[in-house]
Amino acid sequence: MYIIGLQVSSGQICMSTKIQNNKLQLVCNVKHLELEVHIQDPLGDKRSRCLIPYPKPSCSAFNGDATQNMSSNMTVLMLNEDLRYNHRVNGEWSCLHGSKNEKATALVNIQGTRDNDGESIDVSITGPRSVKKYQAFKLVCSGTEAPENHIATFRLKNEVSNRITEMERKCKPHRNQSACLDNKSYELVYTAPKSSGILTVTCTMNIQPFGKLTDCIFVNVVDLSGPFLSLDAYLPVFGNTDLTIVCTAISAENEIHLSWACLNGTREDKKKENSSTKMFISKLTYKVKVTDNGRICSCNARIGDFTSSDTITLNVTAGCEQSVTPRTIYFAAPQENRVNVYEDILHYDEIEN
């Protein structure tokens, strides 16, 4: 891992490069596309211009074709230059969005062409578009062919802290490394930062004779801890027992909508706040039956279009009727990335009192 250092953010914008039919294609991806977009060559000359995209996109280009897709927020410039004369295209290209100083760059270093004019060389990166804070998530970078030295470079820019991180992933001949058995696909598991905001993720592969080709995506880091499911009793429980399932989610910035895919019990919701965070709690009380054994209960926490969930599987056995004495809350799901919800609830009670 190489920490490049702190740089001032230039906006949520990034550039990709591809080869289509022996022509260079430049793609400008803007998180919130609402203003004019210009693509400039290494000499600083404007090679394409797309006007404010309302009511519909309108683009023009010099010695190329420019298009704009509002569903993907991408502006594409396909150059007509003959890549055999690569000095005309080599250097740092840039994309600018409006007057907010939103700028992205891409370095082009083409060393030649190939005989197959119908060939397309492409690099693509895939991964989730939204994750929770501290959540580990997987990114996959794939090329249409193996890169030089079997290396893919991931670059992650945190738009909140302005921190840039670069990591290399190299294929090694090992049967268990299915991520790069064909030397064309490379995986990176990355843990989201503690601050919400946007991560700009770029993957680069060096594919000769076209040099470094890139692709990029935006990953939204959501301020959400949880949801966490817990019970007021040990599992297994006897049939005909009043069981309370508690769903808890925490956020400092957002309102959280909790929903259940579970039993038709009695529901009680409440929210507790202090000076820095808000805790959303939903309790579901139900008299379980032996026939509920193996039933899966889920709680979903939604913030905007982003949803996260936690599940438990009920373990109910036959036995005498009995009531369960309330105890400390016990987790009934895996413990990874959990907080001590019971201690947090006590903490909120102390503040409340």
- Return the pLDDT at 117: 66
Residue 330 has pLDDT above 70, yes or no: no
- Contact (Cβ atoms closer than 8 angstroms) between residue 64 and residue 77: yes
Q: Give the model's pLDDT for residue 59.
A: 95
Contact 286, 243 (CB under 8 A): yes
Rounded to whole angstroms, how far apart are CA atoms 59 and 63? 13
Whether the bond between 236 and the residue before it is cis, its omega within 30 degrees of 0, is yes
More confident: 345 or 32: 32
- Domain 2-222 and domain 225-342, same fold? Reply is yes
For the segment 178-187, the average pLDDT, to the nearest whole number, is 71
pLDDT of residue 68: 95
Q: What integer pLDDT is reported at residue 181 of this predicted model?
A: 55
Residue 6 reports pLDDT greater than 50: no
- Tell me if 204 sits within 8 A of 188, measured CB to CB: no
Maximum mean pLDDT: which of 83-87, 246-250, 314-318: 246-250
CATH class of the domain defined by 2-222: mainly beta
At 350 the pLDDT is: 37
* 90-106 confidence digits (pLDDT tens): 999 999 998 767 899 99
φ and ψ of 345, to 5 deg: -65, -45
Residue 339 pLDDT > 70? no
253 pLDDT higher than 50: yes
Contacts of residue 246, Cβ cutoff 8 Å, sequence gap at least 6: 229, 230, 231, 232, 281, 282, 283, 284, 329, 341
Binned at pLDDT 50, 70 and 90, residue 320 comes out as low
What's the mean per-residue pLDDT of the chain?
Answer: 83
User: If you average pLDDT over residues 110-118, what whole number do you get?
Assistant: 79
- pTM assigned to the model: 0.78
DSSP at 336: T
Domain regions of the chain by residue span:
2-222, 225-342
Whether 210 contacts 110, CB under 8 Å:
yes
Q: Which of the residue ranges 183-192, 256-265, 327-336 would you say has the lowest mean pLDDT?
A: 327-336
Q: Which residue has the higher pLDDT, 315 or 173?
A: 315
> Residue 70: which of 29, 117, 100 has the closest Cα?
29
Q: List helix spans (H) across 72-140.
A: none
Mapping DSSP onto H, E and C, the string for 168-183 reads EEECCCCCCCHHHCCC
Least confident range of 131-135, 155-159, 249-253, 295-299: 155-159
Say which CATH architecture domain 225-342 belongs to.
Sandwich (2.60)
Confidence of residue 150 (pLDDT cuts 50, 70, 90): confident
- Average pLDDT of the segment spanning 27-36: 92
| pLDDT value of residue 11 | 57
What is the per-residue pLDDT for 319?
67
Residue 215 reports pLDDT greater than 90: yes
